[in-house]
Structure 1
């Protein structure tokens, strides 16, 4: 497969583009659906995606999904990001669904995977005030209760889509060992003792503080094995980073397209600004960089599908690093080429920049990705 798409995959991307053009092809539509750029998720649009069967793109058929692979999920993320479809809940939901698919019980899969297909949003709660890049330092604690269940107390922060989620995949400490004392828990978002408070950011309200106060969970809430959460998390990081890379590839393409359209019609000194060598060469460089990202993302996705049992940490980190840095550069260059128009909220470029800048932080910072790649090189 590699970088070449099958006929079915080409039809899928074409259908996604048609959907994006129809549902949010105009500036007015995008402003309404995103509440003037303050949210990346619209429930009505998300429901339409569910009705088309696309939210289950990589969910096994036995749980109501389409049974597609990682490549199809990446194509969905790339095209919805490029089309500015307000389906921001999908990234975390896809990450969580993959974790349940690997480690969940049959009952957990039935509930979470089928809900995913039908349009439910899921969130994963890892980061804490003192445990960001160093996930192994988390303190949120789950203690065994005399009835055989668990009692959870702690504070999670920067949790994407927790305010939308029906399910939260919680990572908590169950024993003192830094890396061998973590456990995943299946937590319905409406469980008593959970409080979700939005964190206002320059990108709107997409992340949250999640407080857990004497939260009672049954014994069967464990996802996978007790004290094996670290290994389970590591097994899913390749897909997480690849999904984020795909989303940022779509954003980079969109920022590039918007900049290119502008410089073709904007005139200064009697000529379109795109005819000036300084602008023309910038766009040539960006087009080359974006094409490199596309080839890398597609190839890593194909590798993950060809050998699902093999870790692709180096390659996934490269994809995440390259895609997010290129998206940030493209949006910054786009704003520069558009001048004041790029800074104005009347145009999409300032929103592209807000979305791109934070992508080099979440899902593992660019610095962490470079560390992973460096270690893989034996350094």
Structure 2
């Protein structure tokens, strides 16, 4: 799909695409990089300076905007780079950038740029009525309770934990963010087996002590601090799934052009040709949506574009799932084999409609912005 890019942005896309071809371009390379996050690949991304693409220059980042971040995410997802720790790291880093002390910022942001992984933990059965508690004690806080679905906690340096510090009339009040080292005594990280591999974890806190300087931001205001990061989270997920959808589409297109039945390529039959046309049109729509919203955020970075960011997340994740499923069907039996890779594309895209706020939640958010 054609893009209108500045020379600098085109150079970024070309450089990332070249990296992906060299490091993950063949099925053999991708099979050897079977885990969602590969430390060797991630270290190379850090050496190239890309992990700090959107982080401030004062900490060693590139200081670029949402558009550049989306281009990087789209291209690495298209190239199927196993860098699962990046999304949570950049989301956590943005929260530290906005609310943390200078010491916390230096520790976390410089670490992310060097290739260290960060995690963020909010999820419980009822996100708004969190029961994981942090009680104030002499010199700090003592944490008790359980968290679940914490992505990348097992490979992270710290967990940005949201815990209840007081009981208020509103379930969204009385929550506080803490920087919790994963090595702290009293924390047990237990992996949850999923069809995507080792990505998410249960966290068990038992009399886990953290000092006063572990508080990130203002005590009791974590919910409002979290809301400030929703643009970023949804754009990260949307741009990544746009890249995944493009990859599933291109792999499908290559197959239907080459695979012959009845003396002609199967893509020349109208039943498949029209499906390809529909997917190409939807991909172009998604591309325009992602980068128009990214441009808006770059122009007004402090504006909370709730509706538009939810549209990006909804459109791109649902499209990636749809294109991968269509690709599996058009590849026939080949789509079910690990050799061709479409089955792993389907596994990774299906879950994208669940994490970061389900598609139903995104639709509800969008509807509310129209007064419904």
**For residue 299 of structure 2, what is the aligned residue in structure 1?**
306
Among 118, 127, 134, the alignment partner of 1:142 is: 134
State the Cα distance separating 1:148 from its structure 2 match.
3.3
Give the structure 1 partner of residue 228 of structure 2.
Answer: 235
User: Could you say what the CA RMSD is over the residues aligned between the two structures, in angstroms?
Assistant: 0.9
Please name the residue that 2:57 is paired with.
61
Match of 1:269 in 2: 262
- More deviation in 9-18 or 264-273? 264-273
Q: How does 1:93-172 map to 2 (within 5 A)?
A: 93-128=89-124, 130-131=125-126, 135-145=127-137, 147-172=138-163
Q: Answer yes or no: is 1:17 the counterpart of 2:17.
A: yes
**SS of 1:352 mapped into structure 2:** helix
Q: Give SS of 1:124's match.
A: strand
Post-superposition offset of 1:378: 0.5
**SS of match in other structure, 1:49:** helix
When structure 1 is superposed on structure 2, of 14-23 and 211-220 the one drifting more is 211-220
Note the alpha carbon deviations across 1:41-88, whole angstroms, 9 max, x for none.
Answer: 100000000011110101101011111111111111111100001111
Q: Which residue of 1 aligns with 2:32?
A: 32
Residue 167 (structure 2) aligns with: 176
What's the secondary structure of 2:98's corresponding residue? Answer: helix
Query: CA shift at 1:5, angstroms?
Result: 2.4
Q: How does the TM-score come out when normalised to structure 2?
A: 0.98
Q: Distance in 2 between matches of 1:210 and 1:22?
A: 37
Aligned to 2:202: 209
1:195 aligns with 2:213: no
CA offsets 1:107-162 (integer angstroms, 9 cap, x no match):
0000000000000001100102x22xxx21211100101x1310001111111111
CA distance in 2, matches of 1:27, 1:43: 19
- State how far apart, in whole Å, the 1-side matches of 2:131 and 2:195 are: 28
Number of aligned residue pairs: 368
What is the rounded CA distance, in whole Å, between the counterparts of 1:201 and 1:32 in structure 2?
19
CA distance in 1, matches of 2:6, 2:211: 45
Corresponding residue to 2:328 among 319, 330, 335? 335
Deviation at 1:4, TM superposition (A): 3.7
What is the alpha-carbon distance in structure 2 between the residues aligned to residue 148 and residue 295 of structure 1? 51
Cα shift readout 1:290-316 (whole Å, capped 9, x = no counterpart) = 111111111111111111221101000
Unpaired runs of 5+ in structure 2?
A: none
Distance apart, 1:175 and its partner CA:
1.1
Hey, what does 1:292 align to over in structure 2? 285
Task: Calculate the TM-score normalised by the size of structure 1.
Answer: 0.96
- Alignment match of 1:75 (pick from 49, 53, 71): 71
Any stretches of 5+ residues in structure 1 without a counterpart? none
